[in-house]
Amino acid sequence: MLHVKIPTRKEVIEEEKSKGKRIAAVYPIHYSRELFRAFNIQPVEVWGPPKTDTRKANAHLQSYICSVVQSGLSFYLEGYLDIVDLIVVPHSCDSLQGLGSIFKDFIKPKQELVTIYLPREKNKENVEFLANELKRIYKQLSQLCGFEPDNERLMEEIKTEEEIDTLVLKFYKSRGNLPLSSREFYTILRSREYLPPDKFKSILEYALLHASKGKLKKTGIVLSGLLPEPMDILDVIDDMDAFVAIDDMACCMRRVYEEGNSSDPFERMAERIVNGPPDPTKGNSFDERFEFIKSLVDLTSAKGVIFYNVKFCEPEYFYHPILKEKLGKAQIRSLIIENDINEPLPQQTITRIKAFIEMIRELS
């Protein structure tokens, strides 16, 4: 076990604001951290948060909207985002696009509202589309902040993010050598959602210094879905003498992007997102999703895949039947469960997870 002191979101917000920086509350999933940081804006992501009272959001949302969006809107309506200067809503899915429309047309927050239209599939045309979308946001931020970062400044921030992505991949590949529980591992990894890059990098480097030469003698699992909430699922897996060897989660691995190639900063930022890991919200093919998950299994010698789906998340649901079939044909066992981030992990779900781990351990 490592003793790593990770600041809270509130502590980070207060510290960054004391330095004169603006704070952007960013909803899921894909956006360019580097673009905002070039304007001295610190992104702080809003993945819910879990265990939020969603009653205020119920006046604006249908009951079948996922709990991430329900919680995210309620969090704003309760006043917890009053401290931020911008609200950023990527149009990652229908529910998030609806959230952006609610902010724009009905609630009309006092903060600057930034929406991001994300293209689907990997091709040159979509890179061009997203580059133009990022240029539009650049102009919006320029008007807000009163200055225009030059290309050199943008490339500096881009390369910082690329270096961190490389370090995150190293962190993943060292998972089996790190004396961390699954909860500890993901607490560190997800601190990227709000930490400045220098602080996040120093935490990762410290953790990697403590990697041992021996492998964890536990059953490895690939965890897929939006996010590991409630995080009790990680404790359940660990209690079964297993561990999350790697993930296919929107909040984590699906946002570890490769280096871009273009010397134009807007095209480079767009390349990184468009050409990133396959994601249901990006409309990647079934084959791309299958090959990616299979590559994670092969990389870590994981014994099975758990699809941990947020209730009512249609993009994730759409892929499950085909992925489960393809994994089965490849002799990779999988389990599909759903959760609400505002509710405790049901005992029935815990029992299913335990039974699944026992099964794959016996069959391996």
Summarised one tens digit per residue, pLDDT across range 61-101 is 888 899 999 999 999 999 999 999 999 999 999 999 999 99
Q: What is the per-residue pLDDT for 64?
A: 87
**What's the CA gap between 39 and 342, in Å, rounded?**
34
**What's the CA gap between 65 and 113, in Å, rounded?**
21
* Cα torsion 50, 252, 157, 263: sign: negative
Radius of gyration from C-alpha coordinates of the chain? 20
195-199, 291-295, 340-344: segment of lowest average pLDDT: 340-344
Q: How sure is the predictor about 59, in pLDDT bands with cuts at 50, 70 and 90?
A: confident
Q: What is the per-residue pLDDT for 114?
A: 98
Residue 211: is its pLDDT beyond 90?
A: no
Match 């509710």 to its residue by tokens: 343
Residue 213: is its pLDDT beyond 70?
A: no
Residue 321: is its pLDDT beyond 90?
A: yes
**Do 337 and 354 contact (CB within 8 A), yes or no?**
no
Q: What is the per-residue pLDDT for 119?
A: 93
Q: How many CB atoms are closer than 10 A to CB 141?
A: 23
> For 204, what's the count of Cα atoms within 13 Å in the CB-facing half-sphere?
25
Q: How sure is the predictor about 347, in pLDDT bands with cuts at 50, 70 and 90?
A: very high
Q: What is the per-residue pLDDT for 2?
A: 61
Residue 330: is its pLDDT beyond 90?
A: yes
Looking at residues 89-118, what average pLDDT do you find?
A: 95
Q: What is the per-residue pLDDT for 1?
A: 52
113-117, 139-143, 295-299, 311-315: segment of lowest average pLDDT: 311-315
Mean pLDDT across the chain, nearest whole number?
Answer: 94
**What's the CA gap between 29 and 281, in Å, rounded?**
9
Q: How many CB atoms are closer than 10 A to CB 350?
A: 18
Q: What is the per-residue pLDDT for 331?
A: 96
> For 297, what's the count of Cα atoms within 13 Å in the CB-facing half-sphere?
18
Q: Which domains, ranges and CATH numbers included, belong to the chain?
A: 9-149 (3.40.50.11890), 214-363 (3.40.50.11900)
